Structure 1
Amino acid sequence: MTNTSQQIGLSFWAKTDLATRAEARRLLSAVVEEGADDFVGLFYNAFLADDEASTFLSHSVVHERLGKSLRGWLIELLCADPDAGFEAFDERQKQIGEIHARIKIPIHLVMAGSSLLKSEVSARLLEKDADRNTVIVALMLMSELVDYAIRQMSQAYVVGTTRRAQVDEAYRLVSLGQDVSLERESQRAALMEWGQSVLFGLFGNAGSAPPEPISQSAFGLWLRHRAGMMFQGASSLEGIEDAVQQVDRVLLPKIDEARAEGGDRLQDVLRRLQASIEEIKYLLNDLFQSVAGMENARDPMTKALNRRFLPSILSREVALANSSGSSLTLLMIDVDHFKQINDKWGHLAGDTVLRQIAEVIMDNVRPCDFVFRYGGEEFLVALVETPEGAGVDIAERVRRQFMEHKLQLPDGDAITATVSIGVAGHRGHPDYAYLIDLADKALYRAKTLGRNRVEIDSAVAAE
């Protein structure tokens, strides 16, 4: 061991003579391999009883994969040999820490988990009929190795969390750096449209359906999925959210009751509703007026979001979907035979194709959805509060429209092109990378089955 951080973290290891250490490691390895499944079971039983921890562990895929990974990690940990070099081992711990940061597992849960595992392994060691000195050395080595691994994870976790926070802030600034006046007027119009729909419903046909909650309107979707990122922590945003809750939970039920009575009571409730709408409009103006000029980080050619903001947005949308039980669907879209287009008509023609597929995609999604330039000719679309079936319909519409679209080239010629699309619906896994992987695999299947088609992820396709 030459690395100073390793020497500091594994000082007992360095001071123990080779023969004593070898005997202690044999004992430790025997205990862990013998009880690995029990340790994993104890880990899950303890943490599934914890409300905060169960959020991350309850998904079946996480349960299955993490159980195997935890067992393998324990055995790998206790077979690691610092004297032979720790590069691969360190890299593995850092990868685990980065995953923890990505799915936002609180670091104190990781520390609690390591403490539980150390306690259980220690208890098994003390039950062994072995030389007491060997048992003590095994206990010390185990404690050092676990602490060393957790320190490597924690360092990567802090770096990943810091980086994510920086990107979150950058995206917030970028969102605000778009055409602020247009965004403000669009949302004012959406708010007023909802208010008018409520009034038309009230004074329209008798027995008409109850008013749509404002939280489910176009304005409500924007507030939940866009404004929450753009204006995070703003007091005006909290005021708007409170006003929206007041409308949905108090005023709309009162309107339904008052409509049966009519007269002054209905007029009073409507005045209160109008006052709430005016309050939201005022707070909305205040929100946008606080915006300063921001950097522009959309893809300059297609106007889609840059991929660097994907982790911030998708991690937030996955968390929202899990906490609210709402739907989230991803589309992975790839232009078919794009290299042939570049080779035959040139890169300017290729750029034109990309711009126009981006336009077709954006024409078929809502302001609350997210469109990313994912790769060279790939786009990723996050459809918020959209079930997978509806996502397939949108994907088919994009595919048909693009196939029928005449793509105008710089020299005046017109060509047609097709796209392949993979669709994946979120089913509770806390890591957005898992959902992207499902969409990517569905796209791969669409391409291998002949291109110019839409395919859903394999888990759904098998059902």
Structure 2
Amino acid sequence: MPHLSLTDLSNEWLSLNERFPSDTHQFVLTFFQNNAKMLSERFYEAMLSDSGASKFLSNEDVSQRLGSSMQRWLSGLFASFDQDAIKRLIAEQRKIGEVHARIDLPLHLVLRGARCLKDSFASLVKNEALSGEQRIQAMRFVSDTIDLTMEIMGQAYSISHDRNSRAEEAYRLFAITQNIANEKDQQRAAVLHWENQLMFDQAVGKKGTELPRIQASDFGLWFRHKGVHAFEGSAESTAILDVMDSIDNVLLPLLGTDIEDAESPVQRISLLHDLRDKVRSILFNLDSLFEQNNELESGRDVLTRLLNRKFLPVVLTRQIDQARRQKTSFAVMVLDIDHFKQVNDTYGHQAGDAVLQQLALILVNNSRSGDYLFRLGGEEFLLIAVDMEKSQIKRLADKLRESVARETFRLPEGKTLNVTISAGVACFDNHPDHQRLIRKADDALYQAKSSGRNRVVIA
């Protein structure tokens, strides 16, 4: 069945309103405006009784803001009478449905909330001085209106959820780098680099807690945040994760323990053989994964070879889910080139493209394999820094800014140029909606640019 247009929906809402007398309209409007706080509290009390809702409502900040948003929604639900006002109300319901899809809020929780509101109104309206017919009319008006809002939200939810699902499947199949053979070589080298570093640290007598963890290594970050998504569902991917866990939580503590009896050299050699076997297992499974997957180019910016914004919602949704499950943090950094329009106007668009390409290379060289780099469009870029706290992201942002400021950008015809960047940073605060995180980073970028450029602002 085709989705109803905005005009069709507004006509249906007007028709619904016209089925009920004006005194019913006025009573319901006044009732909801006067009792919005009580209805909101009952709504969230019922929602929190469902274990599935804890993922979305457990954060105190979220709960407080949602409570005030729910009160505004309830107060305005019956306040629109002409077609223009109703169209604005429909647009609001659609936006709510899109947010629900973006944070993957189960549809049954939304419908449970609607049922709770209707039940709450039915129980409260019994105490009002209304005739039996007036009470029935008010209950029908409220029930029909809430049902219609659920249809509109559900329609927007369905469209957005389908779009997100297609993007997620495309991302699962997407080869992480522009050349899968190069990525294979790079990640094999990263594993071997970690092994060599470990052997050196172990030889000089570092303790177990000082030995480098493979899950925190360049390879470990890349595989846990990117590889597992690209190779999702494969036995080899699971095997690599299990081996890394065994290395970090079993082998390394043993290697860092002082063994004082006569057999300690034998035991240590046995542990090192076990470590070598596990590293070989990682490399074997890694080779197998790369052999099974072909490169897909859609989703990569043609000019800079960074990811384009096609997969940004999928990556952020996955990152939020992982951070919430593992109690970790990450940060989003939005940055752009200061006065980039002057570069194009003065030197031409070919020179502007050269600057963008060189900036992309600086960003790649100064970030980690597990991080994500996007070109959002024009001169704007976005970095997702995984497993990173607020104190760490400030150092990284300043490092990027200073690296760009020191660089001499080479333009066509032998010309050179120095440019600077401004950056806005937002750290994950356990809120499930990734759009809010991006907006906070955008706002911080605006502050950085309006306060003089060539600086970093953290939201």
- Once the two structures are superposed, the pairs formed by residues 121-140 of structure 1 within 5 Å of their partners are 121-140=121-140
Structure 1 pair 287/259, CA: closer, same or farther in 2 (3 Å)?
A: farther
Which residue of structure 1 aligns with residue 449 of structure 2? 447
Alpha-carbon distance, 1:277 to partner: 2.5
Alpha-carbon distance, 1:328 to partner: 1.0
Using the TM superposition, name which of 442-451 and 74-83 deviates more.
Answer: 74-83
| 3-state SS, counterpart of residue 368 of structure 1 | coil
C-alpha separation in 2, matches of 1:416 and 1:323:
43
Structure 1 pair 208/247, CA: closer, same or farther in 2 (3 Å)?
A: closer
Which residue of structure 2 aligns with residue 143 of structure 1? 143
| 3-state SS, counterpart of residue 385 of structure 1 | coil
Using the TM superposition, name which of 357-366 and 74-83 deviates more.
Answer: 74-83
1:240 aligns with 2:217: no
Which residue of structure 2 aligns with residue 344 of structure 1? 346
C-alpha separation in 2, matches of 1:242 and 1:42:
45
| 3-state SS, counterpart of residue 174 of structure 2 | helix
- Once the two structures are superposed, the pairs formed by residues 325-404 of structure 1 within 5 Å of their partners are 325-404=327-406
Alpha-carbon distance, 1:45 to partner: 3.0
Tell me which of 308, 323, 326 is aligned to 2:325: 323
1:61-110 CA distance string (max 9 Å, x none): 42233222211212222334488884322221111111111122122221
Tell me which of 448, 455, 458 is aligned to 1:456: 458
Residue type at the aligned position of 2:356: L
Alpha-carbon distance, 1:365 to partner: 0.5
C-alpha separation in 2, matches of 1:440 and 1:413:
32
Residue type at the aligned position of 1:106: P
Alpha-carbon distance, 1:260 to partner: 5.3
For normalisation by structure 2, the TM-score amounts to 0.90
Structure 1 pair 144/348, CA: closer, same or farther in 2 (3 Å)?
A: same
Residue type at the aligned position of 1:90: I
C-alpha separation in 1, matches of 2:15 and 2:417:
71
C-alpha separation in 2, matches of 1:9 and 1:281:
61
Structure 1 pair 196/97, CA: closer, same or farther in 2 (3 Å)?
A: same
1:370-404 CA distance string (max 9 Å, x none): 11111311111111112222222222222222222
Alpha-carbon distance, 1:137 to partner: 1.9
- Does the aligned pair in 2 maintain the 1:333–1:421 contact within 8 Å? yes
Which residue of structure 1 aligns with residue 166 of structure 2? 166
Structure 1 pair 395/138, CA: closer, same or farther in 2 (3 Å)?
A: same
C-alpha separation in 2, matches of 1:10 and 1:452:
51
Which residue of structure 1 aligns with residue 290 of structure 2? 288
1:208-244 CA distance string (max 9 Å, x none): 6453332222222112111122122223212222232
- Does the aligned pair in 1 maintain the 2:206–2:256 contact within 8 Å? no
Residue type at the aligned position of 2:221: L
Residue type at the aligned position of 2:162: T
- Once the two structures are superposed, the pairs formed by residues 64-463 of structure 1 within 5 Å of their partners are 64-81=64-81, 86-176=86-176, 178-205=178-205, 207=207, 209-256=209-256, 259=259, 262-457=264-459
- Does the aligned pair in 2 maintain the 1:177–1:294 contact within 8 Å? no
| 3-state SS, counterpart of residue 335 of structure 2 | strand
Give the % identical residues.
33
Using the TM superposition, name which of 30-39 and 374-383 deviates more.
Answer: 30-39
Structure 1 pair 302/292, CA: closer, same or farther in 2 (3 Å)?
A: closer
Taking only aligned residues, the RMSD between alpha carbons, in angstroms, comes to 2.8
Residue type at the aligned position of 2:37: D
Alpha-carbon distance, 1:263 to partner: 4.2
Structure 1 pair 273/260, CA: closer, same or farther in 2 (3 Å)?
A: farther
Using the TM superposition, name which of 357-366 and 181-190 deviates more.
Answer: 181-190
C-alpha separation in 1, matches of 2:176 and 2:439:
30
Structure 1 pair 293/255, CA: closer, same or farther in 2 (3 Å)?
A: same
C-alpha separation in 2, matches of 1:91 and 1:3:
8
| 3-state SS, counterpart of residue 333 of structure 1 | strand
- Does the aligned pair in 1 maintain the 2:174–2:295 contact within 8 Å? no
Using the TM superposition, name which of 83-92 and 390-399 deviates more.
Answer: 83-92
C-alpha separation in 1, matches of 2:259 and 2:198:
12
Structure 1 pair 243/395, CA: closer, same or farther in 2 (3 Å)?
A: same
Structure 1 pair 425/255, CA: closer, same or farther in 2 (3 Å)?
A: same
| 3-state SS, counterpart of residue 127 of structure 1 | coil
Alpha-carbon distance, 1:246 to partner: 2.9
Structure 1 pair 203/259, CA: closer, same or farther in 2 (3 Å)?
A: farther
C-alpha separation in 2, matches of 1:4 and 1:444:
37
> 5+ unaligned residues in a row in structure 1: which ranges?
458-463
C-alpha separation in 2, matches of 1:83 and 1:98:
22
C-alpha separation in 2, matches of 1:314 and 1:159:
19
Alpha-carbon distance, 1:5 to partner: 7.1
Alpha-carbon distance, 1:256 to partner: 4.5
| 3-state SS, counterpart of residue 307 of structure 2 | coil
- Does the aligned pair in 2 maintain the 1:328–1:387 contact within 8 Å? yes
Residue type at the aligned position of 1:187: Q
Structure 1 pair 209/322, CA: closer, same or farther in 2 (3 Å)?
A: closer
C-alpha separation in 1, matches of 2:331 and 2:248:
26
Alpha-carbon distance, 1:26 to partner: 3.0
Alpha-carbon distance, 1:12 to partner: 9.9
- Does the aligned pair in 1 maintain the 2:93–2:153 contact within 8 Å? yes
Using the TM superposition, name which of 324-333 and 276-285 deviates more.
Answer: 276-285
| 3-state SS, counterpart of residue 421 of structure 1 | strand
C-alpha separation in 1, matches of 2:328 and 2:351:
40
Using the TM superposition, name which of 69-78 and 371-380 deviates more.
Answer: 69-78
C-alpha separation in 2, matches of 1:162 and 1:2:
18
- Does the aligned pair in 2 maintain the 1:201–1:209 contact within 8 Å? no
Alpha-carbon distance, 1:188 to partner: 1.9
Structure 1 pair 182/68, CA: closer, same or farther in 2 (3 Å)?
A: same
Structure 1 pair 182/152, CA: closer, same or farther in 2 (3 Å)?
A: same
Structure 1 pair 415/11, CA: closer, same or farther in 2 (3 Å)?
A: closer
Structure 1 pair 355/142, CA: closer, same or farther in 2 (3 Å)?
A: same
C-alpha separation in 2, matches of 1:107 and 1:201:
52
Using the TM superposition, name which of 253-262 and 275-284 deviates more.
Answer: 253-262
C-alpha separation in 2, matches of 1:454 and 1:373:
18
For normalisation by structure 1, the TM-score amounts to 0.89
Aligned length: 454
1:271-304 CA distance string (max 9 Å, x none): 3333333222222222111112423431111122
